[in-house]
A and B are shown apart, each in its own frame.
Chain A
């Protein structure tokens, strides 16, 4: 088993096939999209492969230390950044192929015109604990 992070992007991923901003969709299309995502998570819970899923607000800022005794300084909001993460899912699956398969299902969520959006999702393996037997 291995865990993978699936990242959805507001910005920064390659352009999807059916790529229209969500505010141009009909309310039913938005509802169907959200329902699809819930169903996807529920299916993975049933198969024992779901770990976590969270959505992120597009708000926020960069922050860094400015040295001892000084408050951290911020730089933002993210208006200028080219990459903006919208949310994540964590799955725990038997193989890389299975990870691609379920990510593909998620990417096919319906959107504008009721058609699948085929958005690009980023998929990243977790680093794990080292195995006991190495030689």
Chain B
């Protein structure tokens, strides 16, 4: 018994869906059939690996589609359609794959449906794997996916799409990180790589660079017990230099084409952090300039908040506090940023109280615990504890 190369298997899924659709299967039925073939492959390939994995998947999925059509009593229609269906010629696998990304990230879908459908139809994951990654029951995830497919039932696979919606979905998957059994960050990188291989869009390269540069830091981001280590305190020798080099290369290639977008700007910020082998060497002035670009491109209040923190490093904490003062205090991490800048300015008592307050506002346990430890550290040294 050999183990199945799941990555190879998954990479075949979008092209096999494309083959079925070109042969005349509606997208929703084709996707179901390929999912069934995928589940069969995962159980039968270890004992009986096929000589031609792709052909195997096409055959099994097509048979499954035919069976499903028969049981729906649509046999005659389907056979008629088959007779008329011309053999595919000019359409390539790459086109199919790109169209699938667009379809699964269709603007009609909610972000959670788009994420689920992308992971299944483009990512080749099973419903069970996706459900476990997002910590919901398999039945719930199955419903989310079939509902998503109904929503886009009238959309043709050949309809042109907007790369920005696809990138948003992949970014969401990446940012979800590692919550269940499945490494969603790695999965997002795989899907973005696959997208970059069929699209020359600068922002696709920008997003891939951003992911690689952040993924490079992952070994340093948590202690073995799960404790969050902030960027400034990370052991930079643990950063993956191979991923950093690849990310920087991609980014430089994209920036050279002079069509800046938000992901390239974010990647540029990550690259400047990656470039500093010690935190003291960080080029904060350039980072502030990139945040200016990011604010210009997105007008995002989160970007303004991060910019204020960078200004605090470039021009001193008072300057950063002045910037923060102009932002909505209800922004996520506003209080945490305030605490950090007050500590840098030497107001330890104020900072301790703000850290404690920020811990209460944190949206995740790792950040909450980190902020509480900061509050405890300052409180103790200021004689407050």
Interface residues of A (CB under 8 A from B): 1, 3, 45-52, 92, 94, 125, 127-135
Instruction: Tell whether B197 is near chain A: CB-to-CB under 8 Å.
Output: no
**A134 to B134 alpha-carbon distance, docked (Å):** 20
A-B contact pairs, 12 of them (CB 8 A): A1-B115, A46-B147, A48-B147, A49-B144, A92-B140, A129-B176, A131-B175, A132-B174, A132-B175, A132-B176, A135-B270, A135-B273
Given contacts A51-B136, A92-B134, contact A46 B143 (CB under 8 A): yes
**A131 to B115 alpha-carbon distance, docked (Å):** 16
Interface residues in B, total, Cβ within 8 A: 45
Inter-chain contacts of A1 with B (CB < 8 A)? 111-112, 115, 134
**A1 to B137 alpha-carbon distance, docked (Å):** 14
A48 contacts B143, C-beta separation under 8 Å: yes
Inter-chain contacts of B286 with A (CB < 8 A)? none
In the complex formed, the residue of B with least CB distance to A46 is: B143
Instruction: Tell whether B228 is near chain A: CB-to-CB under 8 Å.
Output: yes
Interface residues of B (CB under 8 A from A): 110-113, 115-116, 134-137, 139-145, 147, 171, 174-179, 185, 210, 214-215, 228, 231, 266, 269-270, 273, 306, 309, 333, 362-368
**A45 to B139 alpha-carbon distance, docked (Å):** 7
B112 contacts A50, C-beta separation under 8 Å: no
Partner of A48, one of B141, B269, B363, B365: B141
A129 contacts B145, C-beta separation under 8 Å: no
In the complex formed, the residue of B with least CB distance to A92 is: B136
Number of A-B contacts (CB under 8 A): 85
Inter-chain contacts of A48 with B (CB < 8 A)? 112-113, 116, 136, 140-145, 147
> From DSSP, what is the main secondary structure of chain B's interface residues?
helix
B185 contacts A47, C-beta separation under 8 Å: no
Q: Closest 9 interchain pairs by CB?
A: A48-B144, A48-B143, A1-B112, A131-B175, A129-B179, A130-B366, A130-B364, A128-B364, A132-B177
**A51 to B141 alpha-carbon distance, docked (Å):** 10
A135 contacts B177, C-beta separation under 8 Å: no
**A47 to B112 alpha-carbon distance, docked (Å):** 11
In the complex formed, the residue of A with least CB distance to B147 is: A48
In the complex formed, the residue of B with least CB distance to A2 is: B363
Given contacts A50-B140, A125-B363, contact A133 B266 (CB under 8 A): yes
**A47 to B113 alpha-carbon distance, docked (Å):** 10
* Shortest Cβ gap from A70 to chain B (Å): 29
* Shortest Cβ gap from A51 to chain B (Å): 5
Partner of A50, one of B137, B174, B214: B137
**A84 to B238 alpha-carbon distance, docked (Å):** 49
Inter-chain contacts of B366 with A (CB < 8 A)? 129-130
B137 contacts A51, C-beta separation under 8 Å: yes
A49, A131, A132, most chain B CB atoms within 10 A: A132
**A52 to B140 alpha-carbon distance, docked (Å):** 10
Inter-chain contacts of B177 with A (CB < 8 A)? 129-132
A127 contacts B147, C-beta separation under 8 Å: no
Inter-chain contacts of A127 with B (CB < 8 A)? 362-365, 368
Inter-chain contacts of B215 with A (CB < 8 A)? 132
**A46 to B146 alpha-carbon distance, docked (Å):** 9
